[in-house]
């Protein structure tokens, strides 16, 4: 077994590998860019080596610096994590030349599966079911149309070297094939330096289901069940679970056996994932093979009881798999939600900044959190904006889902925008509960983007009861303050009005041991909690159900965050509530005359000057965030009155860039 390994990655996956290595008694080496000098993975490792400036192209993607770090520290092996160099066939070759073991598959297997066209040809030759399509080079638009007609519309045009949803277009007729071919080629060329594309049948009502495989260097290979990854946004996974609520045992076995056939056909060793597209009739077709550990591997670990990182290390050290296929058992259910620093209400634009509050759910055996951040840490503009992976488990899908909803409600993040309300809305959606998932789920259920989920009447009553119980606790505390004049102390009050969005909810509150009984709409709701004034998280039971509510101050009341929604509540005396009805409503200022920055970032350029006449759709400015350029265009014809920012300026969210007359 290795004595020391280097992790050629950063963030939560680097921390994840370090935890397993530490448990195995293996010393670890972290590498880091200048931006990550104080990162958690650097702190956790036994040694750390600086490898360059913040941009990944100058640090984490520079093979020579990783190899040199191995030489300098005496690391015997390298775990690549995922992303960065994990699927570059040149990386294991460079390590081998330096006498360092790569904890992953051999370079030939990486090369074979790295090209989408060649991998489909290999899969077809290995007896793996593939989507009907044309895998040769496509020279002209006319040829593409002929092929699409032969396959039958709709078709998918895909970049051969693609990934992450880039270079993909759906075509439903000849014109869309022309346009899609041109766009997919341009995107593939700019993203991967390879403009080759192929065409295959587009599967309607598709599910994205993947099989986890493990293979050693002695010819043994097994599959560890499947992961359902159908809930995606722009081809990026959002929610993953194991097992799939859709597969039956026969389909699971057939998919698993074909995945193993493919692994053996390319001489695969280590952990890998074979991805399939599955239609409504449970027909499945090979999509691609990821020759690395997947982001969503924890759900497989929780239902199999296996540590995939440990098994990868042992396989790389030459050990045989310690079990056979018949020994693999799937037990219970696990769900993973990816928590990102992004703003769902602004079309999921990335959010950067410092985590002024980062408090994950309290310890719960049903909850696992993989993260690399802590309170006070910073979400950098240079890397993926993932904050954490939240994973829950239970004996069945319903239990794991409830645990996820509770954990999301209790996950406190401030300082950056985040997608927790969106994740909660997904988990609470009736269609998710029914397991009716496709890769179009988000597009179909949130066609106009995300807005805070509307609570039903029971949900509103529950939050009204919590707000009233918190007020009763504050009143109880106020009665204990010293210095009150005899006979003039604070007297308990039972009648209150909880005001939510200018709607008054009269309540009657009776304090009890450990909480209060609150009468709302004629119903008595038992509220029990050990919450104390000043706490930012209320946890307890409402009518016997476990509930978590986050609390932020907001004017004379507070902001309550629960179940994917945010409401502002004020608990008032009845007379004060009556007077509040007479108060004028503050109208937000009209900002339609301004071009505002939709995100924090760097202003790359401004294309207009005062006095310019602009047309709808015309480029006005370019803002860079997370190393992605965002072009801001005019919504309507207008005349530029003033330019408020210049190229090179750092912008905050909603900072004015251009003002129109």
DSSP 8-class letter at 130:
B
451, 564 Cβ separation under 8 angstroms:
no
Q: Contact, 537 vs 407, CB < 8 A?
A: no
Provide CB contacts within 8 A for 508, sequence distance 6+. 494, 495, 496, 518, 519
Q: How far apart are CA 520 and CA 187, in angstroms?
A: 57
Confirm if 79 and 8 have CB atoms less than 8 A apart. Answer: yes
Question: Can you tell me the distance from the alpha carbon of 659 to that of 115, in angstroms, rounded to the nearest whole number?
Answer: 48
Catalytic residue, from 187, 288, 296, 301: name it.
288
Sequence-distant (6+) residues with CB within 8 A of 485 are none
| CA separation for the pair 593, 659 (Å, rounded) | 6
Is 288 a residue of the active site?
yes
Take residue 335 and report the two structure tokens written for it: 């769900």
- Of 59, 199, 52, 213, residue with least CA distance to 117: 199
Q: Which residues pair with 350 in a beta bridge?
A: 342
Distance in angstroms (rounded) separating the CA atoms of residues 418 and 392: 19
Enter the tokens of residue 65: 């610096």
Distance of alpha carbon 435 from the chain centroid: 20
In 62-171, the DSSP E strands lie at 77-79, 101-102, 133-134, 155-163, 166-171
Residue 582 C-alpha from the chain's centroid? 44
Residue that has been written with the tokens 């497989």 in this structure: 300
Q: Please, are residues 213 and 325 in contact by the beta-carbon 8 Å criterion?
A: no
Contacts of 65 (CB under 8 A, 6+ apart): 31, 51, 52, 59
For residue 173, report the phi and psi dihedrals to the nearest 5 degrees: -155, 180
Cα atoms in the Cβ-side hemisphere of radius 13 Å centred on 169: 25
Q: Which residue has the tokens 């722009």?
A: 234
Alpha helix stretches (DSSP H) within 193-296: 249-265
Q: How far, CA to CA in Å, does 525 sit from each of 321, 458, 531, 545, 563? A: 55, 11, 17, 11, 19
Active site members: 288
């Amino acid at each position: 077994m290795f004595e020391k390994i280097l992790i050629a990655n950063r963030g939560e996956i680097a921390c994840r590998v370090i935890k397993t290595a530490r448990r195995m008694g293996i010393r670890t080496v972290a590498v880091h860019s200048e931006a990550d000098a104080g990162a958690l993975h650097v702190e956790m490792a036994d040694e750390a080596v600086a490898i360059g400036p913040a941009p990944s192209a100058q640090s984490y993607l520079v093979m020579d610096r990783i190899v040199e770090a191995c030489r300098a520290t005496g690391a015997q092996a390298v775990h690549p994590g995922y992303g960065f160099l994990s699927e570059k066939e040149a990386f294991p070759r460079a390590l081998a030349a330096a006498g360092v073991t790569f904890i992953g598959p051999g370079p030939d297997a990486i090369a074979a599966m790295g090209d989408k066209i060649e991998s489909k040809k290999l899969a077809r030759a290995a007896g793996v079911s593939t989507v009907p399509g044309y895998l040769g080079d496509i020279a002209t638009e006319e040829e593409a149309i002929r092929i699409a007609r032969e396959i039958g519309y709709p078709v998918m045009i895909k970049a051969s070297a693609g990934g992450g949803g880039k270079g993909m277009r759906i075509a439903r007729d000849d014109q869309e094939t022309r346009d899609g071919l041109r766009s997919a080629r341009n995107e593939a060329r700019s993203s991967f330096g390879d403009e080759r594309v192929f065409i295959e049948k587009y599967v309607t009502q598709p599910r994205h289901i993947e099989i986890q495989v493990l293979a050693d260097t002695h010819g043994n290979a097994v599959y560890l069940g499947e992961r359902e990854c159908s809930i995606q946004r722009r081809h990026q996974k959002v929610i993953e679970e194991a097992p799939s609520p859709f597969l039956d045992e026969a389909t699971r076995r057939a998919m698993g056996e074909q995945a193993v056939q493919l692994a053996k056909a390319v001489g695969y060793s280590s952990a890998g994932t074979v991805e399939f597209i599955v239609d409504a009739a449970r027909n499945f077709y090979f999509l691609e093979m990821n020759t690395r550990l997947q982001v969503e591997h924890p759900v497989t670990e929780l239902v199999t009881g296996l540590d995939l990182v440990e098994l990868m290390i042992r396989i790389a050290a030459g050990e045989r798999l310690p079990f056979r296929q018949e020994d693999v058992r799937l037990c219970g259910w696990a769900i993973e939600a990816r928590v990102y620093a992004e703003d769902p209400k602004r079309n999921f634009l990335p959010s950067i900044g410092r985590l002024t509050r980062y408090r994950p759910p309290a310890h719960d055996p049903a909850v696992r959190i993989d993260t690399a951040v802590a309170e006070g840490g910073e979400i950098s503009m240079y890397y993926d904006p993932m904050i954490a992976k939240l994973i829950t488990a239970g004996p069945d899908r319903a239990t794991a889902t409830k645990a996820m909803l509770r954990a999301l409600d209790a996950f406190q993040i401030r300082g950056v925008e985040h997608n927790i309300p969106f994740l909660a809305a997904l988990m609470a959606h009736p269609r998710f509960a029914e397991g009716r998932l496709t890769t179009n789920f988000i597009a179909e259920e949130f066609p106009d983007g995300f807005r805070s989920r509307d609570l039903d009447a029971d949900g509103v009553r529950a939050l009204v009861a919590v707000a009233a119980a918190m007020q009763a606790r504050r009143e109880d505390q106020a009665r204990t303050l010293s210095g009150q004049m005899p006979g003039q102390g604070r007297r308990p009050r039972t009648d209150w009005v909880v005001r939510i969005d200018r709607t008054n909810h009269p309540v009657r509150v009776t304090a009890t041991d450990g909480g209060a009984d609150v009468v709302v709409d004629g119903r008595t709701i038992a509220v029990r909690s050990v919450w104390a004034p000043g706490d930012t998280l209320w946890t307890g039971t409402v009518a016997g159900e476990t509930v978590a509510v986050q609390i932020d101050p907001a004017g004379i009341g507070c902001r309550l965050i629960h179940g994917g929604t945010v409401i502002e509540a004020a608990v008032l005396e009845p007379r004060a509530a009556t007077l509040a009805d007479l108060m004028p409503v503050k109208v937000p200022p009209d900002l339609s005359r301004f071009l505002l920055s939709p995100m924090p970032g760097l202003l790359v350029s401004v294309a207009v000057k005062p006095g310019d006449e602009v047309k709808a759709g015309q480029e006005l400015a370019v803002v860079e965030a997370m190393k992605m350029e965002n072009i801001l265009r005019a919504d309507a014809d207008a005349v530029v009155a003033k330019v408020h920012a210049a190229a090179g300026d750092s912008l905050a969210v909603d900072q004015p860039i251009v003002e129109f007359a």
